[in-house]
Amino acid sequence: MNTQPASAPSTGFRAIDVIRKKRDGHELSRSEIEFFIRGYTKSEIPDYQASAWLMAAVLRGLTRAETAALTAAMLHSGEVLDLSEFPGKKVDKHSTGGVGDKTSLVLAPVVAAGGLLVPMISGRGLGHTGGTLDKLESIPGFRVNLTVSEFSDVLRQSGCAMIGQTAEIAPADRKLYALRDVTGTVESPHLICASIMSKKLAEGIDSLLLDVKTGSGAFMKREEDARFLAELMVETGEQMGKKVVALITDMDQPLGSLVGNALEVMEVLDVLRGKGPEDLRTLCLELAGWMFHLGGVSVTVEQGRELAAKIIASGKAMKKFGEMIALQGGDRGVVDDPKRLPHAKYKLEVTSARGGYVTSVDCEALGTANVILGGGREKKEDSIDPAVGLALHKKVGDQVGEGDPLCTIHYNDTTRAARARQLIGQSYRVADSPPAKVRALIREIIKS
């Protein structure tokens, strides 16, 4: 952690004044925002001042102009990749974060196997949600911290590469993201927009598909807030000359049946094998369909969806995933033998106290249970336990008998498992009748 407060002789700004101005609800100028982001990226502004500013931004909000300035300052904190040497369209997808949301790991190989280039810069777990990088790192040896030239080499050889923000690409987001994770400053549409769009615009892509989550496990719990965030990101991307489409999708319950880093990689392998839970498979095909459409490979989204299903059935997507794993230093053997992924030592069942139907789950609580087990971070310095997580046996609408298992906890630490068990037990609602309506997986499409 940095310890020296900022001084900014060249600009005349002081971090304390920028914090106070935002705290008091005033609009910051572009140069004040640039000063703050540059100072924090260079460690001239310490974590404690950045945390205070982030909290002020969450509570007071940012204007459209401030959001645009923040996105640009974060984007230009590092390099913007020039992928013009690669022929063909470059397309990517990003989710605003959910529980059990592992679609990126399916989409990158499927879409690359279909002929598009997928240069993906992803994030780690954030708050109660999981992160693509933590999931990938559960594959023994997998490196997410490639240099720009290594990233280009992997792209050249396999058509897809998945890395994190680095000291070279989107370094401001790398630092702010880790700080927001542990300071309760994730839930702001403006900060989420700047975080996502700064790293995605640094990728040198032509088009971007956004999966904006809504529901009890999303950062935007209400659909109208998800729509606001989707519109903000589509507008920001379009201003920067990119084709951007956002799908608003359900996060009222975890996606798929497995939550936790290695467990989610196992479920990804199931989907790439043509199996896997229905909701996860349906969403992956829909997102892939849109990516093919945006990249000009298919005329319609429906044709794109069919192409994605064919690519999975042919085994090409699984082959591509294995190729990318090997190129990024990982154990390609996990593709044929998922037992090579880390496994937790112990398992514990959470059972239903009564018979009936599952009418709802508190999806955020399930994500928090995974964090408590060690699948996410409670402090910046925490390391991840890749093996822990949850296997869900019942989802919303399912019938359940008294004493039936709702969920199995995979754990390595008994005290943590006890805390997680309590949270999980409280998060399931079981009633005599099924829920009136299970909410649709795909709610809305936002385009400019």
Catalytic residues: 94, 173, 180, 195, 199
Closest CB 17 distance from ligand URA, rounded Å:
26
d(CA 169, CA 425): 42
List Cβ neighbours of 425 (8 Å cut-off, separation of 6 or more).
350, 353
Q: What ranges in 213-370 are assigned the alpha helix state H?
A: 223-239, 261-272, 278-294, 301-314, 316-327, 363-370
Q: What ranges in 76-186 are assigned the alpha helix state H?
A: 103-113, 132-137, 148-158, 171-181
d(CA 92, CA 90): 7
Closest CB 402 distance from ligand URA, rounded Å:
39
In the bound state with ligand URA, the residue whose beta carbon lies nearer, of 101 and 385, is 101
d(CA 75, CA 347): 43
Say if CB 440 and CB 375 are below 8 A apart.
Answer: no
Cα→Cα distances 57→76, 143, 158, 362, Å: 20, 33, 40, 27
Closest CB 177 distance from ligand URA, rounded Å:
6
List Cβ neighbours of 400 (8 Å cut-off, separation of 6 or more).
352, 355, 356, 357, 358, 394, 406, 430
State which residue has the least CB distance to ligand URA: 195
SS3 388: coil
Say if CB 348 and CB 355 are below 8 A apart.
Answer: no
In the bound state with ligand URA, the residue whose beta carbon lies nearer, of 78 and 123, is 123
Q: Are strands 91-95 and 207-214 parallel, antiparallel or unpaired?
A: parallel
Closest CB 131 distance from ligand URA, rounded Å:
8
In the bound state with ligand URA, the residue whose beta carbon lies nearer, of 200 and 320, is 200
DSSP 342: -
In the bound state with ligand URA, the residue whose beta carbon lies nearer, of 222 and 345, is 222
| Residues near ligand URA (CB under 6 A) | 96-97, 123, 126, 186, 191-192, 195-196
In the bound state with ligand URA, the residue whose beta carbon lies nearer, of 186 and 266, is 186
List Cβ neighbours of 310 (8 Å cut-off, separation of 6 or more).
none
In the bound state with ligand URA, the residue whose beta carbon lies nearer, of 178 and 280, is 178
Closest CB 41 distance from ligand URA, rounded Å:
16
